[in-house]
Amino acid sequence: MSILGTRVLRTEDPRFLTTGGVYTEDLTDDRLAGACHVFFVRSPVAHARIGRIDASAALAAPGVLAVYTAADLADLPSIEPIMAGLLNAKMTRRPLAAGKVRFVGEPVAVVVTEDSYQGEDAVELVDVDYDPLPPVVDLDNALSDEVILFEDAGTNTVVEFGNASGLKPDLFDGCDVVVKRTFANQRVAPAPMESRAAAAVWDADGRLTSWIPNQGAQSSRDDLAKMLGLEASQVRVITPDVGGAFGAKFGADPEHVVVAWVARQLGRPARWTETRFENLISMTHGRGQRHAITIGGSRDGDVQAYRLEIVQDGGAYPRIGAVLPYLTIMMATGPYSIPNAEAIGTSVATTTTPVGAYRGAGRPEATAALERAFDLFAAEIGKDPAEVRRRNLLPPFTEPHQTAFGALYDTGDYAAALDKALEAAGYDDLRADQAIRRQSGDVVQLGIGVACYVEITGGGDESGPPQENATVEVHPDRTATILTGTSPHGQGHSTAWAMIASEELGIPVENFTVKWGDTDLIPVGGGTGGSRSLQQGGAAVQQASRELIDVARERAAAALEASAGDLRFDVSRSAFAVAGDPDASVALADLAKDERLFVHSIFTAPGATFPFGTHVAVAEVDTDTGKAMLRRVITVDDAGVVLNPLLAEGQRHGGIAQGAAQALLEEVVYDADGNPLTASFADYPIVSATELPSFELASMETPTSYNPLGVKGIGEAGTIGSTPAVQNAIIDAVAHLGVRHIEMPTTPMRIWRSIAAARSQPTQSQPTQSQPTQSQPAEPESA
Amino acid sequence: MIPAAFEYVAADSAADAVDLLARHGEDAKLLAGGHSLLPMMKLRLAAPTVLIDIARARDLSGISVDGGELVIGATTRHADLATSELVKTEAPLLAHAASLVGDPQIRHRGTIGGSLAHADPAADLPMALVALGGSVELTGPAGSRRVAADDFFIGFFETALADGELLFAVRVPRRPGVPWGYQKFVRRANDWAIVGAAAIDGRIALANMASVPMRARTAEAALATGASPAEAAELAADGTSPSEDIHADREFRQHLARVLVRRALEHLS
Amino acid sequence: MQVKLTVNGEQRSDDIEPRLLLAHYLREVCGLRAANIGCDTTSCGACTVMLNGESVKSCTVLTAQAAGQDVVTAEGLATDGELHPVQQAFRKEHGLQCGFCTPGMVMAAVSLLKEIPNPTEDQVREGLEGNLCRCTGYHNIVRAVLAAAAQSAGSQAEVTA
């Protein structure tokens, strides 16, 4: 009986449920004994020159060991933007702000105390003079270059992916219907439950050991080394348990560098944990794109042309967020066959928190824009949005399909996903319920939203093709150890990798120890992000296990004095036996007695894979108050073969919740001066259990040929389909009143205003869409 | 996110607490459940140098009947109000309001005295008290006095409590079987109300429509002269001066007030 | 100042600063680090423990306020190495991913089931409104609480979600 595909409970859990995970703040490692505590003084203004910094009162406060500013860190190199050839390389950053601050929350000074309770007291006593400069918050203002953030750069534009001059003016020629709209894919906060933290200590040889909650110890090591001006070999990064990351804990942040520097400066270990306030204003934010879409086609519902123009808010110091439009553009036409399509993007710097990756990182944005465009188009021609989608989906394919934007989709059956989701939702019944409520003018109206998506997972990066390494070792005591280059933070790799190896080696899942996140033990690894881990890391574990059997076979042949070709490996006994003579056997573990039995293997994937699916959301809107309530979310998320349904469902649930939250609730808000208004969990409405229903997940598995497991990446898919499905559902609930669009998040005030505005319009001349295409279009609602 | 340093003393009775307040002056604050005060201290929005813990003062606890009124000790927790059979029978509006404050953990700590003294215009219990036409018993160096709910909330997070006084008990009229309505408009379940409305016995109170929990007096007057709930509710926003924030501007809040008052009047429990 | 309280059944006496939050007392003085601190505004519930048998957010309780009282943390739930039924249910239903919110979530669930032994799904969601989770979308947490309730009720009712 294969263990693959079964709901194996997590081997990680007993520890987490009893003594709890050991996160960076929990560490009691001997090497950190006597650690001092690090606190940051952060800018309260969005854009200013830094004047005098007076630390005298702080230095006199109890327990204060030191106060440092940029001048003290002058020897550290500047932090260049990632992909500095691509992004404007002049937009550099100092680990502590030097000369200028460019966002509220930027660290300006660091206070070091004996005791953790003394830090906040001392931070309050550091007096910084700021000479304010005009804030740059509005995207058009930023693009105008009227106020420049980086004098040396001479512009606020970070990078352009194509530009307007390349757009074809005749793209929409021949379309009966053309719809244009501009809307936001708003800035959100990743807000993992564990905020950022670090601990650092140097040994007598000048080697740094740093504990950082991250998404890959190796890239944290590389970043730290670079930012400290060290060789990578002089740095060891250890990843403790990580309390969630969602794309915002890659590499190293300036604060991590400062903590390490302080430890070296003071010759003692140093520790830091940020508050939630600091997290919400200085951990990288997600999304932050503005979309101008144009969609055109025939009255029958063929979409003939689509254009997407993106402005990406990069925040103050360009990070991966500024690059994401590249992925948005690549996925611009999603699962559809659209004969003429263009997409361009510009990333611009603003005096706000830097924007990074957040679950989906560029792909949710593409789907959100496209799915909103499809609904706008469907509304314009008065046809059912599901039917319009079906009509335009790419037909099923098993051989790779190249899109106009250079993506090579591996396998897909988009119509099957749509059909399955609609059936599971009971779509026709929902439309019937909706019609009844519309007839009777119920205060609470029903809306159904559909979103079809395809997404890209597990691609390579600028360092090379997609690959991951694993070491699998069998021990004489019948246990085994796996070393992986991935870096789980809730995904359950200990269990999943053990399942994969167990399947090959016949060693029970409970007998495996899986290790990651120590660069001395595993110097090379790609970490966990972009939904890469199973298709690369899991595949590497499988490959290493299979290669281990090959190595063991040779030893078994010697041990049994038989030829290797006559031996069979019996997984159920975890032993080699001579064919036809089961008593002539040797256990796999026994072959490790005299010599270590392990294999290190690198799995290289042919390319990225493309999971896909359809989400259907059902929402109710109280038309008197504008309150929207999410009632059902039905999804098909096809990420190929499912290794462990329990884990896969958990990833889907988490993704759906975050995606729905963006549509319904969450937004990082700045005022016109660049002051963050959502800097606590009281103000930033992170979604809680009461706003969400239980989710309905339908199964569909279209394998990929890109790895022997047949798996694609599932971690981000849920986020991609749910945002537009929920937004579309809420708008659909009031579409019969004439509403065509509501910005995200669909707050009660926005919904109420949209209804009021639509009601005050003169009667629409086009039919409003309220029924599937088989019926007559409804009479237009009178205002 | 930790408070500035302070001294901590515990009072074993109301009189003891009044003495301690007198001794320590305006740098001292009373601590009951601490779920209005401690969050502010952790954000360094308040920094008293002395905390006087009254949670264990026996004469500040308990719920009893006194003629036509319920008498509720200041340190009565929201969870206890919400589950008390006595309160559910005699002042169900109050029990309901208490059941909506924050979340279960907060309700296990927060007290009615603390909530009323904190006087957040968006909070449940201040609005409930105003709707019920209750009163508070205050005690201080000059003795004890009663202040009606309508006179207790005098400004933004400001009450009629004089220096050195403490809120001893809360009194609400017993109204078993009298229909009541309560509407709390939130985006997430444990948020403060964007707007709230409570109605009973011809009285209508609003949360977050001014710097204090206020009465919708024009709407009340209309009801008193025979207007229907819908007609009266149209006047619910009269005299309100709601603040504006990321959730709602003035116009939307006033609209919500009208809708919520109508629903409070039409969906009486 | 001196405080005496009972933590996971053990009587303790410690010298503390008045402003020491119960959360930090449990973590730093008692060495019980399962409860985590996830926010500044009493919103997230990751720090939830039981005080006299009721769930409280230990970040908003002074250690001094807990003097003479009884605190139980997630570490104190299991008896004789056997997971508490709620802990077992969380495992079975995959109600945890990164685990950061989990000890607090479990304590809140235990407290909820004491007060409402047989909750509906809505009551579970409302009962957990004080606990935030970023990983699970709450779906399996709700299943776990309902399963634990069903198990305690001795019922064979199938959990559907």
ipTM of the complex: 0.96
d(CA C88, CA A13): 10
pLDDT tens digits for A364-390? Answer: 999 999 999 999 999 999 999 999 999
For A620, half-sphere exposure in the C-beta direction (CA atoms, 13 angstrom radius) is 14
Instruction: Show residues of chain A in contact with B3, CB under 8 Å.
Output: none
Write down all domains in chain A, each with its CATH number in brackets.
289-457+608-759 (3.30.365.10), 467-604 (3.30.365.10)
State which residues of chain B have pLDDT below 50.
Answer: none
Every domain of chain B with CATH number 3.30.43.10 lies at: 7-53
C118 Cβ contact list (under 8 Å, min separation 6): C149, C153
Interface list for chain B against chain C, based on CB atoms closer than 8 Å: 1-8, 10, 31, 34-35, 38-39, 42-43, 51, 53, 55, 79, 102-106, 108-109, 188-190
pLDDT tens digits for A741-783? Answer: 999 999 999 999 999 999 898 654 444 333 332 222 333 333 2
B32–chain C nearest CA distance, Å: 9
Q: What is the pLDDT of residue C152?
A: 86
Mean pLDDT score, A728-736: 98
Residue A406 has pLDDT above 60, yes or no: yes
A574 Cβ contact list (under 8 Å, min separation 6): A478, A505, A506, A507, A587, A588, A589
Among the residue ranges A741-750, C32-41, C149-158, the one predicted with the least confidence is C149-158
Instruction: Show residues of chain A in contact with C90, CB under 8 Å.
Output: 13, 17
Q: A276 and chain C: CB distance < 8 Å anywhere?
A: yes
Q: What is the pLDDT of residue A82?
A: 87
Q: Give how far the C-alpha of residue B118 lies from the chain's centroid of Cα atoms, to the nearest Å.
A: 8
Q: C16 and chain A: CB distance < 8 Å anywhere?
A: no
Q: Please give the model's pTM, rounded to 2 decimal places.
A: 0.96
Instruction: Show residues of chain C in contact with B2, CB under 8 Å.
Output: 19, 21, 24
DSSP code for B3: P
With CB atoms and an 8 Å threshold, state whether C60 touches B7: no
Q: Is C2 exposed, middle or buried (0-12, 13-18, 19+ CB in 10 A)?
A: exposed
Every domain of chain B with CATH number 3.30.465.10 lies at: 58-173
Mean pLDDT score, C128-132: 98
Among the residue ranges A176-190, A759-773, B38-52, C50-64, the one predicted with the least confidence is A759-773
Mean pLDDT score, A343-347: 98
With CB atoms and an 8 Å threshold, state whether B55 touches C65: yes
Write down all domains in chain C, each with its CATH number in brackets.
2-76 (3.10.20.30), 85-152 (1.10.150.120)
Instruction: Show residues of chain C in contact with B101, CB under 8 Å.
Output: none
Query: Is residue C45 a contact partner of residue C130, using CB atoms and an 8 Å limit?
Result: yes
Q: By percentage, how much of chain C surpasses pLDDT 70?
A: 96
Residue A708: asked if its preceding bond is cis (omega within 30°), the reply is no
The mean pLDDT of chain A is 95
pLDDT tens digits for A665-705? Answer: 999 999 999 999 999 999 999 999 999 999 999 999 999 99
Q: What is the pLDDT of residue A763?
A: 57
Fold held by B180-266: Enolase-like; domain 1 (3.30.390)
Angle in degrees, 0-180, between the axes of helices A414-425 and A427-440, rounded to the nearest 10: 50
**Residue B197: φ, ψ to 5°:** -145, 140
Mean pLDDT score, A510-533: 97
Q: What is the pLDDT of residue B269?
A: 65
Q: C129 and chain B: CB distance < 8 Å anywhere?
A: yes
Identify the CATH assignment for B58-173 out of 3.40.50.970, 1.10.357.10, 3.30.465.10, 1.10.760.10: 3.30.465.10
C154–chain B nearest CA distance, Å: 26
Q: C80 and chain B: CB distance < 8 Å anywhere?
A: no
- Answer positive or negative: Cα dihedral of B83, B89, B95, B96: positive
Q: What b-and-e string marks burial along B132-160, b requiring 16 or more CB atoms within 10 Å of the CB?
A: bbbbbbbbbeeeeeebebbebbeeeeebb
- Written as six digits, the tokens of C29 are 């003085």
Q: What is the pLDDT of residue A226?
A: 95
A268 Cβ contact list (under 8 Å, min separation 6): A34, A35, A36, A201
Instruction: Residue count of chain B, please give it.
Output: 269
CATH of domain B7-53: 3.30.43.10
Q: A672 and chain C: CB distance < 8 Å anywhere?
A: no
A237–chain B nearest CA distance, Å: 28
Closest C-alpha to A245, from A23, A56, A467: A23
pLDDT tens digits for A282-311? Answer: 999 999 999 999 999 999 999 999 999 999
B143 Cβ contact list (under 8 Å, min separation 6): none
Residue C155 has pLDDT above 60, yes or no: no
Instruction: Show residues of chain C in contact with A510, CB under 8 Å.
Output: none
Every domain of chain B with CATH number 3.30.390.50 lies at: 180-266
Q: What is the pLDDT of residue A776?
A: 27
Residue A583 has pLDDT above 90, yes or no: no
d(CA C118, CA A539): 44
3-state secondary structure of C42: coil
Q: What b-and-e string marks burial along A120-138, b requiring 16 or more CB atoms within 10 Å of the CB?
A: bbbbbbbebebeebebbbe
- Written as six digits, the tokens of B13 are 């009775």
Instruction: Show residues of chain B in contact with A683, CB under 8 Å.
Output: 246
d(CA B134, CA C25): 40
Q: Give how far the C-alpha of residue A496 lies from the chain's centroid of Cα atoms, to the nearest Å.
A: 20
Q: What is the pLDDT of residue B209?
A: 98
Q: Which residue of B has its CA nearest to A682?
A: B191
Instruction: Show residues of chain A in contact with C136, CB under 8 Å.
Output: 650, 653-654, 657
| Chains B & C: contacts with CB separation below 8 Å | 85
